[in-house]
């Protein structure tokens, strides 16, 4: 068995306080769509950041809880571009889930709604900064943070804020969770395009006037087959029609049908091609009118040179602590997709280690807390 590095061993004494913070965060439920609940968590986080000495700013939006931007100028070179810490406060779990699945510890695992995705990561970021300030560990750059409240629905109101802060930053660390078994980080994530396609036909009596109708469901079915045929595993493009709606009575030719679609792509070029294809679906012919709406897209997090360079630095830090830091690609997206697409060195998945995102058995591995904390602290120290 490899001996534990002394710094990792020293940080083991921080585990209990980190778990206390994680418990507090998990018990402050923050579903994306519950503005009041998410705001309670935001108030807690703002207080923790203020206590840390950060300048904290609330960025309001109409439909979601305020996003949080915080600046911590301690250390050398406060005028330099910052190190950006990025993550989300919102979870997919409704208020009341904590009563059904309360925070608990079983052996080396801790469980609770939102613990892995991604309140454990926020807790690690705060405790890393608290430890550094308390023990005189000084980063070479100022720290900027964005904790948003709408990531789980695509970050529609926080993207501009994320890109604004990233433009002022030299490196971006995304505190999404790391994966088991070895705490893998993400140096590639697919891009996402979500949209809704609607078909308008013409209603008619299904018996007496069937020839006069234009069945929107049938036309949508033909369109669904076209969409699914766009999947190309060789280039990493997938198209998933995940929800369909249409019609109201069995004896009426349906005049309306719609489908919600999820597209995943591996490159910015493929994203543009698919967006063009999606927009070309809008037609009006054969008695039908097809429209596409609600198009939202995240560019892919591609493993370009700046991403690779930041990952290699983090990997070297981990190795100096007698730890490994393997990388893996992911078909899921994060807010790091936005910053990487700007050309910024972006390391995603540097947060808590565990498994079960969006699942009832969501959990973190307690033994990984001091290991991850050590990597984060040392990385913040050496990044220039």
Quote the pLDDT of residue 80.
83
- Indicate whether 215 belongs to any domain: yes
Q: Do residues 160 and 308 share a domain?
A: yes
Q: Mean of the pLDDT values across residues 24-39? A: 98
Percent above pLDDT 90 for the chain: 96
- Kindly state whether residues 31 and 114 are assigned to the same domain: yes
The pLDDT of residue 79: 72
| Last residue in a domain, options 253, 272, 298 | 298
Which range marks the domain in which residue 371 is found?
Answer: 6-189+300-382
Cα distances (Å, whole numbers) of residue 353 to 39, 86, 148, 175, 315:
26, 17, 21, 10, 16
In a domain, 347, yes or no: yes
Q: What's the total number of domains in the chain?
A: 2
Whole-prediction pTM value? Answer: 0.93
Check whether 1 has a pLDDT greater than 70. no
pLDDT, mean over the chain? 96
């Amino acid at each position: 068995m490899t001996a534990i590095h002394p710094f990792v061993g020293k940080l083991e004494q921080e585990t209990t306080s980190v778990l206390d913070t994680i418990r507090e965060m998990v018990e402050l439920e923050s579903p994306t769509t519950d503005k009041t609940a998410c705001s309670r968590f935001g108030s807690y986080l703002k207080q923790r950041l203020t206590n840390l000495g950060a300048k904290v700013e609330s960025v309001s939006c109409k439909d979601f809880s305020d996003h949080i931007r915080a600046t911590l100028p301690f250390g050398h070179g406060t005028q330099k571009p910052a190190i950006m810490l990025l993550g989300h406060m919102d979870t997919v779990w409704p208020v009341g889930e904590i009563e059904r699945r309360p925070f608990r510890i079983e052996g080396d695992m801790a469980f609770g709604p939102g613990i892995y995705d991604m309140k454990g990561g926020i807790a690690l970021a705060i405790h890393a900064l608290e430890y550094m300030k308390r023990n005189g560990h000084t980063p070479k750059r100022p720290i900027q943070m964005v904790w948003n409240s709408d990531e789980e629905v695509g970050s529609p109101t926080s993207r501009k804020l994320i890109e604004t802060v990233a433009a002022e930053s030299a490196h971006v660390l995304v505190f999404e969770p790391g994966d088991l078994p070895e705490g893998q980080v993400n140096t590639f994530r697919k891009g996402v395009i979500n949209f809704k396609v609607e078909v308008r036909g013409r209603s008619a009596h299904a018996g007496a006037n069937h020839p006069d109708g234009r069945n929107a469901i049938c036309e949508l079915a033909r369109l669904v087959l076209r969409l699914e045929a766009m999947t190309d595993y060789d280039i990493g493009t997938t198209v998933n029609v995940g929800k369909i709606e249409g019609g109201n009575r069995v004896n009426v030719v349906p005049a309306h049908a719609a489908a919600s679609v999820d597209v995943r792509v591996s490159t910015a070029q493929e994203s543009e091609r698919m967006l063009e294809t999606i927009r070309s679906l809008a037609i009006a012919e054969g008695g039908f009118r097809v429209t596409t709406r609600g198009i939202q897209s995240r560019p892919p997090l591609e493993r370009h040179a700046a991403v690779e360079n930041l990952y290699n630095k983090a990997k070297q830090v981990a190795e100096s602590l007698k730890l490994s830091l393997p990388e893996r690609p992911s078909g899921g997206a994060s807010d790091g997709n936005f910053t990487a697409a700007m050309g910024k060195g972006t390391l995603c998945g540097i947060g808590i280690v565990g498994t079960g995102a969006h699942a009832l058995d969501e959990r973190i591995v307690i033994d990984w807390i001091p290991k991850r904390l050590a990597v984060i602290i040392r990385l913040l120290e050496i990044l220039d």
